Chains A and B, each alone.
Chain A
Amino acid sequence: MTLFKKLFGAAAALTLTATAAAAQDPAIIFDLGGKFDRSFNEAAYNGAERWAEESGGSYREIELQSDAQREQAMRRLAEAGSNPIVMAGFSQASALSVVAPDYPDTTFVIIDGVVDEPNVRSIIFAEHEGSYLVGMLAGMASETGVVGFVGGMDIPLISRFGCGYAQGVRAVNPDATIIQNMTGTTPAAWNDPVRGGELTRAQIAQGADVVFAAAGGTGLGVLQTAEDEGIFSIGVDSNQNYLHPGSVLTSMLKRVDVAVYDAFTNGMDGTLETGIVTLGLAENGVGYALDENNESLITEEMMARVDAARDAIIAGEIEVHNYSDDGACPVQ
């Protein structure tokens, strides 16, 4: 009996401290690719870590293991009093639209998805604009005139990358051939480097000498194969230039880290606004990565053309077609 009491007391005390510590903390839910996918989720993680370091605060996190956990994870964090709760990944949208109305006092932030609830901030990136820029770089770096694209799961979001990329390639080389492949139709497609490598080899066989991977963990296989076969690759979301210096031409940056950092910072100040926010080139939400690993690959001329295009897109002189607007791409 005494042992039971002791254990019970200890458990109760543990629960109390856990709740107290979590009361005001923000929280983040990572998507299935995992926190360290070197790509999308890792960018979100870096943003959260930067906030923790600068503010000295702490945050709660959940790494999803399966689709069925989404709703449960959101409810658990909301019940525990975390606020705001950031959800990384488009696939959280449907679960969030169910959960959000039940916790009107909690602010939810969803990245890459739109949920139309009064307490949700939906952050959308203009991936087509960033992809356009790396597409231009690919078009200029390619000697064969054939470039490839490997997407992760076959969803409109990834087609937005592919479509922007294709437009960028065509902008510098109107005759270029663009081979577009998707890894799969299930979430497993984010984590299949073997298949990513096979797709890349297939594209190389068709003449591609630059391949853009927008495929989470699958992209690591693409980048690896590109280095093995001696062609260029383009990373995505995080800066992946360092993974294979000299082979990764550049990375299409999507500043998920900034989005998470801002959400945490503003959430703690109580200045977090809800509604739909689009982060494009103008907001520095997307861009291309240039660092010591790839500066020898990008010539002055390439940089000048890409920077000119960026200014033109910001100024509205170039309009990059957004695949999500009509579900079609003008460039094949």
Chain B
Amino acid sequence: MDLAMLLQLLDSSVRLATPLLLACLAGLFSERAGIFDIGLEGKILVSAFFSAAVAAFTGSVWIGLLAGIGSSIVFALLHGLASITFRGNQLISGVAINFLASGMTVVLGDSWFQIGGRTPQLEGHARFQNLTLPFAEQVRDVPVLGAIYHDLLSGHSILVYVGFLLVPLTWWVLFRTRFGLRLRAVGENPAAVDTAGISVVRMRYTAVIICGVLCGIAGAYLATGLSAGFVREMSAGRGFIALAALIFSKWRPWYALMACFLFGLLDATGSLFQNIHVAGISVPVQFMQALPYILTVVILAGFVGKAIPPRAGGEPYVKER
């Protein structure tokens, strides 16, 4: 494998890892505050739909992004209402959100555009265009470093850079600010936070809204950055893979980055290297496409060790009994 091929692989991994990363960080905020969220998938889907639909109506991808984030926040609040205010089961609420998103996007899409639940193809300003970083063209011919800068770092949509910058930001917010300390405490021992005079309910709602914003960006990236429009079920299980990455990383931001990048890399490998010949034997395509899942099981079972979720996760907080 030469450098160009390697860069191509990493470049593809970056694109595929970004929606996972955004969704994973979304889940990180929510679960660190004690709200399990298996509705990441649904929120990505609903945001993908609304961002593409509104971008198609208005012709502006930025308004589309806002609409996507808005719709995702509405779904997040729905989850919050069910699991914080009404103290319902968080898993069931999450499943309900996934179903709702899956059905609603197609029904609305069909009634708005009459093309079978998809949105029209987005063009020009209705899509996120790829950014070329400064001097990318000039340093292109510098050996190795120039190629890395031009082919790998430059030429992504702005949301990719946002996604990667959110990792240090998340780390800083969670581990270096008062807000982060309280957020983590709410997920571990809400009674202690309550005793200190801080509203558990408000902390948890804040976390859920942050989760909605990040899922919204992930969905918008999927529909208006990676592709040019919404198609039915386009999230294709990415929300669940993000959830796996979250457990994988034991609810820590930097590890989340690595886990998501690993999944992106495996996905990219599956599509780039379909016909491999090793020592005269040709590896079947099916094996290459199953490889990400096989490796996931191997890594999860063998290397990660015990992943302990936030202690108060999944349990609604009851002030007095």
Contacts and interface: CB of A to CB of B under 8 A. Distances in A.
Interface of A: 34-37, 63, 154, 180-182, 184-185, 188, 191-195, 197-199, 201-202, 205, 217, 220-221, 224, 243
A181 B274 CA distance: 7
A243 B122 CA distance: 11
6 contacts: A35-B116, A194-B222, A194-B236, A195-B271, A202-B12, A217-B118
B8 A205 contact: yes
Given A35-B116, A205-B4, A224-B227, A198 B285 contact: no
A185 B272 contact: no
B268 interface: yes
A202 B271 contact: yes
The 5 closest A-B pairs by CB, nearest first: A36-B116, A205-B8, A36-B115, A193-B227, A202-B272
B15 interface: yes
A167 B4 CA distance: 29
Contacts of B15: 198
Contact of A198 (B115, B121, B232, B268): B268
Interface string B266-301: 001001101100000000011001000000000000
Interface of B: 4-5, 8, 12, 15-16, 115-118, 121, 222, 226-229, 231-234, 236, 268, 271-272, 274-275, 285-286, 289
Contacts of B234: 191-194
Contacts of A35: 116
Central interface residue in A180, A188, A195, by most chain B CB within 10 Å: A195
A198 B12 contact: yes
B289 A184 contact: yes
Contacts of B231: 191, 193, 217, 220
Given A181-B274, A194-B236, A202-B12, A154 B286 contact: yes
Given A194-B226, A202-B12, A34 B286 contact: no
A96 to B, nearest CB: 24
B12 A201 contact: yes
Contacts of B229: 220
Contacts of B227: 193-194, 197, 220-221, 224
Nearest to B130: A228
Given A182-B274, A198-B268, A220-B231, A192 B12 contact: no
Contacts of B16: 194, 198
Contacts of A181: 271, 274
A4 to B, nearest CB: 30
A185 B4 CA distance: 28
A184 B274 CA distance: 10
A202 B268 CA distance: 9
B316 to A, nearest CB: 34
